[in-house]
Each structure stands twice: as C-alpha cells, then as structure tokens.
Amino acid sequence: AEVMRRAAAAGADVLNDVSALSHDPHALAVAAESGLPVVLMHAQGDPKTMQDKPQYDDVLLDVFDYLAARIAVCVSAGIPKSRLVVDPGIGFGKLLHHNLAVMAKLSIYHGLGVPILLGASRKRTIGQLSNVPNAEDRVHGSIAAALAGIAQGVQIVRVHDVAETRQALSVWQAVTTGVA
C-alpha cells in the first residue's frame, strides 16, 4: 500500500498489482483513494515457490473465477469497475501447459467485463517453446505472443520491445483489415 501511495503521489498512471490487491490489507483502500486504474493480476502461490508444483482443476476457469472474485472485492471497496483491468498472469504460478491453455483461450476473460492486459513479453514460456534460454533473445516470440493476444481482443499488451511490437502490430492490423 505504501508503494502504491508513493507511486500515485509521484505521478503514476496506473497501479499494477501482482497479488490483485490481496497481499496488503491496506492496498484496497489506497487503490480506491488513488483514483488510478488498477491492474489485477492472477498469481497462484508465493513468488518464491509458485513455480514448484502449481495445480489447477481447470486453469482457464480457476483464473477466471479468481479474477471475478477480486473484481467483486475491489468494487465493494469503492474501486469502480471502469477503473479495473485484469491480467491472467502468464508465468505466475503456471507451468508451460497452463500458460498455453490460458493464451489459447484469452478471449474467455472478456466475460469479466473489464479490459484484459497480457504480459507475456520475454517470459520463460517463450523460451521453452523456442529453445531460447536468454530473455533478451525472445523478441520474436514475444511479438508473436502479443499478436496472438491482440487477435483475441486483448486491449493492453505489456512488452519490453515497444518499437518492434508496434511495427508488427501496424503490419498485422493493415493485413487483417485491408486498411493502411
């Protein structure tokens, strides 16, 4: 909460919380008071152990239900739904097959009624799929992941390589719409 408060005071445009405002009991109030948009990310488990053996009954629905519950908590705490964004949390408490399942069906999260943010840029999943161990060398895979998300209606992509992703998106949009 204190980091959020200071970030807002310093001019932050958005609060992005990997715990969906669940780790700090004061986070909801600070986020509500800030008036800023809030990204609620799904993550299973503690960051130190979340990749050890994540388990899901159905990763798509488990993530959906978690995010729906966090949206309800935020709205009850005074954060208008219009200020909320969800992030399914690629790589946060998810193994390769979990990440692929979420990425393949990102459009399900439109049912939450808020914008979707996809943060797959340079993630381990891309390295696993392309046999590229160094994150800095995952630009091409990151662009492919961003375009796959945009094709499913994701409104926000968090990327490291902005110019390259923007160029790919411009070409993709022109090719898919027939409009330059």
CB 172 within 8 A of CB 147: yes
Of the candidates 5, 105, 124, 158, the residue annotated as catalytic is 158
Q: State the Cα–Cα distance between residues 6 and 178, nearest whole angstrom.
A: 45
Known active-site residue 166: no
Active site annotation includes 48: no
Of these residues, 6, 123, 124, 138, which one is catalytic? 123
Q: Answer for the pair 19, 68: CB distance below 8 angstroms, yes or no.
A: no
Active-site residues, by number, are 123, 158
